Structure 1
């Protein structure tokens, strides 16, 4: 038996022991905290409302305690030099360096992303891999699901420009799906059906992913030495933050995630989750076992699976393959949404996808228990918010019962001849609150100790600035928590009601305006203010207890506006706050990506659609990529839209019909010819004139 196979067998027992110890700590602590709460409540569980309060509290405390002990475990492991049972620890650097590579596809699925910005990031990855001298083992695929003609036409132009700049003919490919079934997972599945058999591995990227060439090479070499591993997942670091919100997310990710990722990886071991990007996948078993079924239930549990990544990891585990998270694989990056509202819009889609997993968690056969818990973990990421809201509602009901209703000395039909006197224990209550706060905030200060122990203080601006940054991040997280609670509760309810969601590209640059913020957060302002006003009428102490929720909701609009500003982020950076090591060290991959994206774009007088129609070389490119001409009913639609486009221009044509027109090579040829011969006062005649004047201006320069 090989060393790798022996290690594969041994980790199961090790993981079981670790999980049992974690469960004992979490369950024991939760049981003790729930008992404390029972003693704090006035009737000590003497009525239904109090038992409901304790039950909801126990679920929420369990969730918090789990994260706390994961962070503590990660902290201890990092102090001891890392997890000795991790995948990378099985092989020395020399062994990995001597391991050959295998044919690997690097795929980037796109949907309405900023075209030039995104593909320049891919260019940086390509060049970083080329520097390693092993480019022959890798091919790159841009997999577009974009439907807006101005977007996908630009994608095709920028792709060709990249191919020519990099000399990447036969290595950098572009494919666009005309019908994007099943979202991103359908996009990747389409690629695998067409080209998957040509590759042993596939590295999946998001539009904002950056992955160093050395990291990609190491991942493939580890996979070649570990044939039982189906997915190897990195722990991406957030970079390139500009707004204050993104800088706080970037700082928190960089400072805290090493602890959480190390602890989580040590608990999950070969049963880790897949996060959908910045990971390498073994293609053959993925194709054989990870086809996603259509859900056959009701409501959201019907139709295609929206969040595919956890499901694919679970299906690989069911087939006998391992999925590993390896935090020691560095130089893996992604970006944060620039504003809170953009994060919440993304979370609305994610919450619906995660809630779908309940059906798989409960009813899908032969899944490993660890992957069922991963589903539960993803569900709780959003379900915890309505549970927190329910907890606040129940405590308000309890306060009303105690303040307004007459004291019930025999609650819930109590048959004892002795009355149950309501009793408050403020010292116990304070102890419980302090212990809960410790679970939330102690890992943040452990992260400071971790930075000191690993001598990386300078990357965070020194100890004083690091401490101030952590305190600032805590204040902002406290301000944002009630806003997220209401937003996630709304998302969960909308998902359960199966409200239809739009699938859109992520905003990466726009700031939040005052009007937009005021309208979006007005419901929270009304709810928080009304609740505090009602609490004041009940009891001054209950009013004070409501303020940590109502004040952030009242300040939601100015908070989100300030956080969305790039100027706010730059101001914090100038003061040395929220710094991360990646901002202070030079790395070729990040330098290339930053430089390429800051390059000035050549001015073009025409939109991508107008360029596709008028510029001969661009028109020829799109004709070559258009494929065969349409027939039958589609042909009739194209001919009708062709006449309309020539006579009135393209702006009034519905985007789906315009795409049909621009996907047809004969129509593109006819458009080009007829647009150039159009009258000078027509739509296309004016565009021709603008193009000519622009070209003359460039010549004069």
Structure 2
């Protein structure tokens, strides 16, 4: 143990106290104003509830406001001199030898060619640094559909040949999906973790430049106390209007927010699960996930693993750093609002589960407990906002429908409590809240102007127009997210089960899908607005900023999911980001081009399933046999033999997904299916498949 804490800890404590002082003092003033705005000045239980919810929500947005201000000030004075990256000169890092590092890509039902093309771009970029011999690559599949994982195996083998990566690029598929992604990574570590000193974790949509990866390894070598080093991923490749808005907001605003967050967290930062490097030995020793001992949501496996792993690494005495200045770290955004909300449905349950860890897990750092609280509030704030709206609606109804109460419930004095209204104070408080919400966005414009980065976003005029477009859309989407997140939180607390599925990364949403997703919120918005009109026209006008977005949620989602409007704004130079206006980095250029290239045809009919390809194509059949096992033991022998016969007689459509998966995992079944299919009569299912392949091959030649 160290004799005295490192200097960054003292700096971090000072910054956190300063942040807390600003947030709490501002919140106290705001709540004081609200109490004097309310008719009974907090003299009723209803108004106490309104003030309490308002205080929590105001403090929540104040934290974001002051984090952005911290980031602006730090960048104004040249960056954070206490950051991990600023400890070392560039030439010092360049001279640091590299250690063996694994680059892992956990996948589950992803677009196979698209995903592995991104990994290919990362591989090539590391290769261009001249350090490829220090890296190994692992594709860790949890896919269940045989058509998906057979395609994964075929694409992996083709990729190994294209890259010349024999003995360096590996593929493994689990047959038991225990504990989702965290279990996938844990399974890899148990089998091969000791081969590498470090582990770089990617998501299916992640891209990291070779330069950044090499630099991260060298930083870890220079800083033995660091257990996790997290980059700040930038969203790219947005095509739909929704994705382009998210991409612009992330790229432009995150510069301030990430800088401020890193300055406050310092060596006790969070881990976001990807685009980061981890020290393998302490991660394996200290970051295993326990089973929670609570009930319902708070019992069983931990669903959202990344924050927990960072907290466990900190508890073991290792540092966790977020380094926004590393750069060249990328990911992608869901293309539609419905897809984002589906992802949030999964994340909300995992984040709420952290409440048990935050309260009852011993030995965790205070900063990591606050990181848990931050993640919880990302979803719980929507419920509090909804409750705030409900209480204010009740208050408005009581003032409108009931006579004035001079001795309301909760009022203990012998003297009457006279209601008072202060519209001027209400306007001032509203304006102060709007400043908290929107001032950081214009602070980012000032930051870009100071650092002469506005041209990368299309110039000052187009940048301001882009910010205004983003503000309008974010205001329009806020009530929709509030309603959806509130439902997810209630569902999580009731421990509703969730399905685990691959994410949509390219497709827009249909009108039917949009109405199916948003219809409950549209009904609630309509009913609430109608009730507000029946109470009072002024209250009706007050309700419109919430009710109109809810009523228009489905058409809004459909319009935002379309690629045409996004491309239209791109052609005008709006919502532009530096990765689009400047010469693209090699890793981005390569990924884009690799994904555009068509997969080589194997002589089979276009559109045929991966299962048919695995059976008919001699080369693919041998590849899959090499990855399969001998499963014909005991009772399974007879079952596999009869399933092979049924598949040859009636085709794969007669079998379940489990039966197809079992056939493709058995080496002898693969061989028998290949031989039997090619011997099938021309009028059989397999004969027709072979005939279609021959026709396609003849047309292509």
- TM-score relative to the length of structure 2: 0.98
Shift of 1:541: 1.4
What's the offset of the Cα at 1:519? 3.0
How far off is 1:196 after superposition? 0.6
2:562 and 2:662 map into 1 onto residues whose CA distance is 40
What are the within-5 Å matches in structure 2 for residues 541-620 of structure 1?
A: 541-586=538-583, 587-603=585-601, 604-605=604-605, 606-620=608-622
Q: Give 1:464 shift.
A: 0.5
Name the structure 1 match of 2:465: 468
> Could you tell me how far 1:91 is from its partner in structure 2?
0.3
The corresponding residue for 1:478 is 475
CA shift, 1:692, in A, is 2.2
Q: How large is the Cα RMSD of the aligned pairs?
A: 1.3
The aligned residue for residue 50 of structure 2 is 53
Select the residue among 625, 633, 638 that pairs with 2:635.
633
CA distance in 1: counterparts of 2:411 and 2:451, whole angstroms: 59
Residue deviations 1:390-436 (CA, integer Å, cap 9, x gap): 00000001111111111110112634332111111100100110000
Contact 2:43 2:410 (8 Å CA) reproduced: no
Task: Check whether the contact 2:240–2:335 (CA below 8 A) recurs between aligned residues.
Answer: yes
Matches within 5 A, 1:227-306: 227-306=224-303
Preserved CA contact (<8 Å) 2:45 2:410: no
**Distance (whole Å) between structure 1 residues aligned to residue 300 and residue 645 of structure 2:** 39
User: 4+ residue stretches of structure 1 with deviation over 4 A?
Assistant: 5-8
The residue matched to 1:272 in structure 2 has which SS? Answer: coil
Give the Cα separation in 1 of the matches to 2:391 and 2:654.
Answer: 54
1:202 is paired with a residue whose SS is strand
Question: 1 CA distance for matches of 2:256 and 2:635?
Answer: 59
Deviations 1:641-670 (A, max 9, x none): 212211111123211221011100011011
Range with bigger deviation, 605-614 or 218-227: 605-614
User: What residue number does 2:191 align with?
Assistant: 194
Give the corresponding residue for 1:668: 670
SS of the residue corresponding to residue 538 of structure 2 reads helix
Distance in structure 1 (CA, Å) of the matches to 2:359 and 2:599:
52
Alignment of structure 1 residues 55-94 onto 2, 5 Å = 55-94=52-91
Give SS of 1:621's match. helix
- Name the counterpart of 2:219: 222
Residue of structure 1 equivalent to 2:404: 407
Partner Cα distance (1:138, 1:634) in 2: 40
1:697 Cα deviation from its structure 2 partner:
2.8
Residues 149-168 of structure 1 aligned to structure 2 (within 5 Å)? 149-168=146-165
Helix, strand or coil at the partner of 2:242:
helix
- The unaligned stretches of length 5 or more in structure 2 are none
After the TM superposition, which of the residue ranges 627-636 and 502-511 deviates more from structure 2? Answer: 627-636
Shift of 1:477: 0.2
* Whole-angstrom distance in 2 between the partners of 1:576 and 1:551: 29
Alpha-carbon separation, structure 2, partners of 1:222 and 1:624: 39
Where does 1:417-496 land on structure 2 (aligned, <5 Å)? Answer: 417-496=414-493
Shift of 1:515: 2.0
Question: 3-state SS of the aligned residue for 2:623?
Answer: helix
Look up the SS of the partner of 1:499 in the other structure. Answer: coil
Structure 2 counterpart of 1:681: 683
Distance 1:231 1:290, change over 3 A: same
SS in 2 for 1:328: helix
Return the alpha-carbon distance in structure 2 between the equivalents of residues 139 and 7 of structure 1: 38
Q: Does 1:691 align with 2:688?
A: no
Displacement of 1:638: 2.0
**In terms of mean alpha carbon deviation, does 595-604 or 448-457 score higher?**
595-604
Aligned equivalents of 2:632, 2:142: Cα separation in 1: 20
Shift of 1:456: 1.2
- What secondary structure, in the 3-state scheme, does the structure 2 residue paired with 1:203 have? strand
Determine the C-alpha separation between the residues in 2 that align with 1:268 and 1:311.
15
Cα displacement string for residues 88-141 of structure 1 (whole angstroms, at most 9, x for unaligned residues): 000010110111100000000000000000000000000000000011000111
**Given the alignment of the two structures, is residue 323 of structure 1 paired with residue 325 of structure 2, yes or no?**
no
User: Which residue of the partner structure matches residue 14 of structure 2?
Assistant: 17
* Deviation sequence 1:258-293 (CA, Å, 0-9, x none): 100000000000100000000000000000001101
- The match for 2:379 among 372, 377, 382 is 382
Q: 2:107 aligns with which of 70, 94, 110?
A: 110
- 1:381 is displaced (CA, Å) by 0.3
Shift of 1:454: 1.2
Once the 2 structures are TM-superposed, how far is the Cα of residue 182 of structure 1 from its aligned partner? 0.5
The answer to whether the aligner puts 1:35 opposite 2:32 as a matched pair is yes
Aligned match for 2:647, one of 636, 645, 648 = 645
CA shift in 2, pair 1:299/1:415, >3 Å: closer
* Post-superposition offset of 1:601: 3.2
Equivalent in the alignment of 2:133: 136
User: Equivalents in 2 of 1:6, 1:595: separation in Å?
Assistant: 53
1:52–1:504 Cα change, 3 Å: same
Query: Aligned residue pairs: how many?
Result: 696
Question: What SS class does the counterpart of residue 42 from structure 1 fall into?
Answer: coil
**Which SS does the other structure have where 1:411 is aligned?**
coil
Structure 1's unaligned 5+ residue stretches are none
| CA shift digits 1:511-536 (9 cap, x unpaired) | 11112212322222221111111111
Question: Given that residues 44 and 411 in structure 2 are in contact (C-alpha distance below 8 angstroms), is that contact kept between their aligned partners in structure 1?
Answer: no
1:274 to 1:617, Cα distance in 2 relative to 1, 3 A: same
Give the whole-Å Cα distance in 1 for the aligned partners of 2:636 and 2:302.
Answer: 30
Asked if the contact 2:140/2:172 (under 8 Å) is kept, the reply is yes
Give, in whole Å, the separation in 2 of the partners of 1:609 and 1:575.
45
- Of the three residues 203, 210, 213, the one matched with 1:213 is 210
Could you tell me how far 1:608 is from its partner in structure 2? 0.9
Q: 2:432 & 2:575 partners in 1: Cα distance?
A: 27
Which whole-Å CA distance do the structure 2 matches of 1:652 and 1:317 have between them? Answer: 53
Q: Given the two structures, how large is their TM-score scaled by the length of structure 1? A: 0.98
What's the offset of the Cα at 1:571?
0.8
Q: Which moved more, 1:673-682 or 1:313-322?
A: 673-682
Shift of 1:693: 2.2
Aligned to 2:143: 146
Task: For residue 651 of structure 1, give the secondary structure of its aligned residue in structure 2.
Answer: helix
Q: Go from structure 1 to structure 2 and tell me whether the alpha carbon gap of 1:395 and 1:291 turns closer, same or farther (over 3 Å shift).
A: same
Aligned residues of 2:44 and 2:410 also touching (Cα < 8 A): no
Tell me the alpha carbon deviations over residues 596-627 of structure 1, each in whole angstroms, 9 at most, x when there is no partner: 11113345413210011011110000000012
Decide which moves more: 634-643 or 102-111. 634-643
- More displaced, 670-679 or 263-272? 670-679
How far apart are the structure 2 equivalents of 1:696 and 1:337?
40
State the alpha-carbon separation in 2 of the partners of residues 274 and 444 from structure 1.
Answer: 25
